[in-house]
Amino acid sequence: METRISGSMFQKARKVIPGGVNSPVRACRSVGCDPLFIKRAAGASLFDVDGNEFLDFVGSWGPMIMGHAHPAIIKAICQAAQDGTSFGAPTPAEIDLASLVVEAVSSIEKVRFVNSGTEATMSAVRLARGYTGRKTVVKFDGCYHGHADSFLVKAGSGVITLGIPGSPGVPEDIVRNTVSIPYNNLDILEKTLRNASLEIACVIVEPVAGNMGCVLPAPDFLSTLRALTRVLGIVLIFDEVITGFRLSYGGAQEVYGVSPDLTCLGKIIGGGLPVGAYGGKAEIMDCIAPDGPVYQAGTLSGNPLAMAAGIAALKLLQKQDFYNELDRKSAWLAGRLQDIAERVGLSVQINRAGSLMTLFFTSEPVTDFTSAIKSNTDLYGRHYRQMLSRGIYLAPSQFEVAFISAAHTIDDLEKTAEMTEWSFKKLLEI
């Protein structure tokens, strides 16, 4: 595989961009290689600047559920761009997309658009504090909610990929009001939430963790969390930046039958353009300025291009049986990979929720942060490089998920399975 042009570009990028990338995991350090520079994408494929083609299982980290450059989404963006790219003023499209979100997610009565998942979670936590008059945020070890100061405590995603325990630049006074507890541990959950001295404003959780790899909620975890927060007057926030409109049209909360007070969204609702949102009960949302005292603003919030792309994307997801078809393909691939691992004698764990999947290189079940970080990251790095050499583009981190899209065909998945078997056998040679 030729990577000369990508290599040259990376060296140029390092002179003008920290680390040569604009988001840390993209640097590919944890998998022992330099990043590829992508030129274009179509359907389930990426094409780099050297002309290599790859089957893509990153999907821009989730939003490309329909595949890349879907004609309906591209058409909507182009049409919107002809009228201008940003106004800093209300547009009709904001109402249309907000209405689609409210209709889709049963717990959301009102929604506010922002520009990223980090903005959504940061704003939701501020709102919860303003609404309750309390200070403490409870999160879960290994769950990543963006790079706002409050969340960089035992965070997942790039933080654990790079081996960073937290982050310099975050004052102790801020993280003092964040408590991180084990995911899926009901005993510690109840003891923490019932500790009145903590003055807990909210609990924020990925209903299906996607940033320590795919980790599913244990039976009764989400329902117990909902029951406790309701009794104790604590705002429950679901971070569905990854799972929203990915696991179902109504998100993970529809799949698990648990309704939070606030929901954070991103990724898919902008059709691949920069966007985020947070929404929930009208009583809480009405505390946001200008109706209430909790301030949050953004010049590009509700950007007309992102709104147009989001409307087009969500309408595509309304197709009958869309999620069932996506789940069937994902289940087929997960089953094939498990069969291959057993046949060749390699110990792995495959966690899957709908079209989210992680292949963990460990012999033990992965149910929380502690078990996730026992995975063999060196082995994953070798697997990543081997798959890349055969045209399969995976996430450059053991602690991320693979995203299956509607554009992936059974032939694509069969090729992926064949290359996985080749890679597994190579891993066992040493």
- The catalytic residues are 144, 239, 267
Please report the beta strands in 135-231, taking only residues with DSSP state E, as ranges in sequence order: 136-140, 178-181, 200-205
CA distance 180 to 203: 10
Q: CB within 8 A of 296, min separation 6: which ones?
A: 112, 114, 123, 126, 127, 288, 289
Per this entry, what is the length of the chain? Answer: 430
Alpha carbon separation from 226 to 232, 236, 286, 316, 366 (Å, rounded): 10, 7, 22, 31, 23
CB-CB contact of 166 with 175 (8 Å): yes
CB-CB contact of 213 with 372 (8 Å): yes
Q: Hey, how many other C-beta atoms are within 10 angstroms of the C-beta on 169?
A: 7
- Give helix 410-428 / helix 377-389 axis angle, nearest 10°: 130
Which DSSP letter does residue 269 get? G
Pseudo-torsion of CA 66, 67, 71, 77, nearest 10°? 80
* Of the candidates 135, 107, 357, the residue with the CA atom closest to the CA atom of residue 238: 107
- SS3 state at 62: coil
How many CA atoms within 13 Å lie on the side-chain side of 90? 5
